[in-house]
Every structure is written in C-alpha cells, then in structure tokens.
Copies of this chain bind each other. A is one copy, B any other.
Amino acid sequence: MEFIGEKTQDGVTRREFRLAVDGDAVPGVIWAPEGAKGPRPLILLGHGGSQHKKVANLTAAAISHAQKLGYATLAIDAPGHGDRITREQAEKARAAAAEAGRKAQQGERPQAAARPTRDAGVALKHVAEWTAALDAAQGLDFVGAGQPVGYWGVSMGTRFGVPFVAQEPRITAAIFGLFGVFPGLEDHKAAAEAIRIPLMFIYQWEDELMTREQGLALFSAFGSTEKTMHINPGRHVEIPAHERDGWLGFWERHLGRA
C-alpha cells in the first residue's frame, strides 16, 4: 500500500494509495477521522458501473461514516474504471451507460448496460483485489484487524460484492442493491445463497435496467436469516436520500461505534 496523496477537510482525512495486486497497480482511497488512532470498524465501498472510487455518493458516505460513527472507509477502482483507464475512455464509458439507460427507458431492456461487469474473469480478478485491499487496510494502525468490517455496493458494486462477501469471513454485514438474478450469472446467484451475514438489499421499483422479478429473486436467494429489502419508486439511479440515513443506522447496529 503506497500512499500518494493526503487531504484533510471537515475533520476527515482522505489518503490516496496504490496497491500492487497480480501485477496491476490498483488505485484506492481510504477515509478516516482526522488524527484517528487505534482500531475501528471499516466499511468497503464498491462503486457502480462507469463510476469510480471517489464518485460523489461514495465520498459523501465515507465522510458520514467518519464524522458520525468514527469509522474508516475504503474504496478502490474496479477493473476498467477510474484511474485504471484514461479520461477519454472513462467519458466514453459514461456516455455508453447513459445511452443504454435512455434506450432502456424507451423499452429496450439492454443487458448491454451491465455487460462489461458480467465477465466471470473480471469478477475473480476484482475479488482478489478487494481481498488484498482489506489485508492492507487491516495493517494500518488506524484500522487494525479484528474489528467489524462492512461492505456496501449497489449495481456493479453488488455484481462484484456478492462473490467477494461470499468468500470473505471478515465481512460482518453488507448492503447490496440494484442487481438481480440474470441468465448466465448462475455463479453469482450461488454466491448469494452462500452469504449468511445480516444484509440490506435496496431496489428501485421502476429500474429500467432490470425487472422487479430479477431483484426479488436475488433478495430471495441470499442465505442470510437477517435480511431486509427496501423497495422505493423510481429509476436505477434514483435511490431516495432517506435511505442513506437508514444505512448509517444499519452500520451502527451491526458494526457498533468506533
């Protein structure tokens, strides 16, 4: 874990890093309360498709975790995202995602929008990166090992997060959403069935990228005895603001306070 930048604002310190994993330099960022010392709960944030590790909703969540709960929060760029591609490639990917969303609203239900994330090889690679990032974070004095760890990720963050969480015993609670059971992704469904930790699953009732039945099927598949699905009106990217407050309560209930 090589630190390459640090910035403190509003009582929260954000450190950028690069982490060598299987020959790649994975770009990451970790937030913690300013001057944080000693172990504390950690939350891992998996960003959505065409997004990156410091996208607005991830940054806002990380700041809340630090300010309100005293947690550390870590995010990494997924393969083909953020600082792992050029600015031109990122803009092209965002435009393609926006176009797929437009087509979907017109009734074409494009598997295409999520297709780059459907590759099993990419998923395996990114799971290994998450494991390495968690190892590295637990070596930091302001995180430590043995503390509760949560995973949050919706949409592509659920596509990669489910196989990661299914085989990572250090994760003690998770928030997923905006993903479903899809043809050709049987491994993903099997991973969901293997998960036993408390979890929340967020879904949008007018999601243009997937059907209601696909989301309900993924919620049903999770093996957890404590799981709760929150359905709200609106499209894929329209999760209402009040859910964010609920997430803080979920973390406090399951991970405690720092």
| The residue from B225, B226, B230, B249 contacting A230, defined by CB atoms under 8 A apart | B230
Whether A230 and B228, one on each chain, are in contact in the complex, defined by CB atoms closer than 8 angstroms, is yes
A219 within 8 A of partner (CB): yes
A212 within 8 A of partner (CB): yes
A233 within 8 A of partner (CB): yes
Whether B220 and A227, one on each chain, are in contact in the complex, defined by CB atoms closer than 8 angstroms, is no
Knowing that A228-B243, A230-B230, A245-B253 are A-B contacts, what are 12 other residue pairs whose CB atoms are under 8 Å apart, sorted by A's residue number?
A205-B220, A216-B216, A225-B233, A227-B233, A228-B230, A228-B240, A229-B230, A229-B231, A229-B232, A231-B231, A246-B249, A249-B249
Q: How far is the CB of A63 from chain B (nearest CB, A)?
A: 20
Determine the chain B residues whose CB is within 8 A of the CB of A233 once the complex forms: 225-227
Whether A228 and B220, one on each chain, are in contact in the complex, defined by CB atoms closer than 8 angstroms, is no
Determine the chain B residues whose CB is within 8 A of the CB of A229 once the complex forms: 229-232
* Complex Cα gap A102–B71 (Å): 46
| The residue from B212, B225, B231 contacting A228, defined by CB atoms under 8 A apart | B231
Are A227 and B232 also in contact (CB < 8 A) when A246-B246, A249-B246, A249-B249 are?
yes
* Complex Cα gap A124–B243 (Å): 35
Determine the chain B residues whose CB is within 8 A of the CB of A253 once the complex forms: 242, 245
Interface centre among A229, A232, A245, A249 (most CB of B within 10 A): A229
* Complex Cα gap A198–B137 (Å): 41
